[in-house]
Amino acid sequence: MAKITFIGAGSLVFTRRLCNDILLAPALADATISLMDVDPTRLRQAQEIVENIARQRGGKARVEASTDRRQAVTGADYVVTTFQQGGLDAYKIDLDVPQKYGVEQCVGDTLGPGGVFRSLRTIPVLLDLVADMAEVAPNALLLNYVNPMAANCWAVDAATGWPHIGLCHSVQGTSEMLARWIDVPYDEVNYLCAGINHQAFFLEFNRGKESVYPEIWEAIQRPEVKAEEPVRIELMEHFGYFVTESSGHASEYSPYFRKSAKMVNEELVPRFTDERNSWFDLGRTGGYYRHCIERLDKFQEEFDEIRSADPGTERSHEYGSWIIEAVETNNPIRVNGNVPNNGLITNLPDGCCVEVPCLVDANGIQPTFVGAMPPQLAALNRTNINVQELIVEAALTGDTDAVHHAVMLDPLTAAVCTLPQIRSMVSEMLEAQARWLPQFDLDHVHA
């Protein structure tokens, strides 16, 4: 009987979805689900929801909850991380301070000043968690869902070498979207996708043995398709391949789309005319933050209904439950996971975190060799990897200069700010977020 621990169980989306997925897998029906969150109210809500799921799945699973992380992790076989260190309070700072300096972030959880600081808050918590796991769950596999994925996983590997995989749903979601655009049944599609998290590229997209990339090129000429993904389509038109993460996210990872508030509001936002993009407010600055606030309010209003609802009998495309099932049963699967680049992508730096196809069975996570990316794609990836490398350096050494350098090298920030402006912005953010940044001696920070 597997024990699966969720750290950050108060997450509105992942806990409910992943626990339902787990308990829909026959081999995991009698699992112990251990929920941990620092917020007792959110933890209680998560426990009620998961207990209801367990009842609806036959009542074989055991559900436990604790605000004590070490207790929750003890004896775990799998640890799933879904927490947000600093919560929405820190997230608001991630957006508001940079906006004062003209940096217009839509999501701000992966790159940009927001992504840098989110990772600096997160990495110490992840490393403390792994230290607990080493003592009380020495054989546990870490499944990380916490963004910024690449920097967080890179830090875990660099500092601990602990067995882990970083998981996202952008590859699955994008491949499903591309199949829909070209009207091909999804179960007939196969692909090769590789790069870094939120900026991986579909190097191949096939129906059987035949490439259907020509059909994708035709599809992106249709107005309704352009309205759905204007940024990703523009990137494909210029770089030749389709990228994994949504246009709201993708607009932040390069210097081309968000150079000013005027550009965002008058040029970018009007291109988002498909309501599928409402979750990031059609690309507006702070769009995803507002979505989070609205979603939290709606969750609280509808909690009585949610806690007793049946979440459905179809497993989602989130990889977590499928990985756990594959390890437990030795029935192999393939996923796209975030893992250390030990020669997997030959023209990206060794040791960075890459997103590549991985085989999973009772032997664990086995990343596959990709080789060289097309040079223009590797170059785009490296602009992001440069920032990630400095985030990891800062988080592991407490070097505030590395924080400044990370933001100075961020493509979006560099498209907007001068170096003195960036130094001032970073110093302001360090001061505003000091309570979540224990690794730094902030008494000696100077602008």
Give me 52's structure tokens. Answer: 């209801």
Helix (H, G, I), strand (E, B), or coil: what is residue 193? strand
Give me 96's structure tokens. Answer: 């508001």
Other beta carbons within 10 Å of 26: 9
Contacts of 69 (CB under 8 A, 6+ apart): 7, 36, 128, 129, 132
Catalytic option among 164, 169, 198, 249: 169
Q: What is the DSSP letter of 146?
A: P
Give Cα 84 to chain centroid, integer Å: 11
Cα 142 to Cα 78, 156, 381, distances in angstroms = 6, 10, 25
Per DSSP, what are the bridge partners of residue 206?
A: 190, 211
Per DSSP, what are the bridge partners of residue 63?
A: 33
Give me 394's structure tokens. Answer: 């800062």
Our answer to whether residue 249 is catalytic in this structure is: no
Would you list the DSSP string of 334-363?
EEEEEEE-SSSBTTS-TTSEEEEEEEEETT
Alpha carbons 40 and 394: distance in angstroms, whole number: 32
Instruction: Provide the residue type at 176 as one letter.
Output: E
- Looking from the CA of 141 toward its CB, the CA atoms found within 13 Å total 23
Token match 């998981």: residue?
A: 167
Taking a C-beta distance cutoff of 8 angstroms, is the pair 71, 43 a contact?
Answer: no
Token match 């989306």: residue?
A: 13
Taking a C-beta distance cutoff of 8 angstroms, is the pair 181, 225 a contact?
Answer: yes
Residues annotated as catalytic are 169
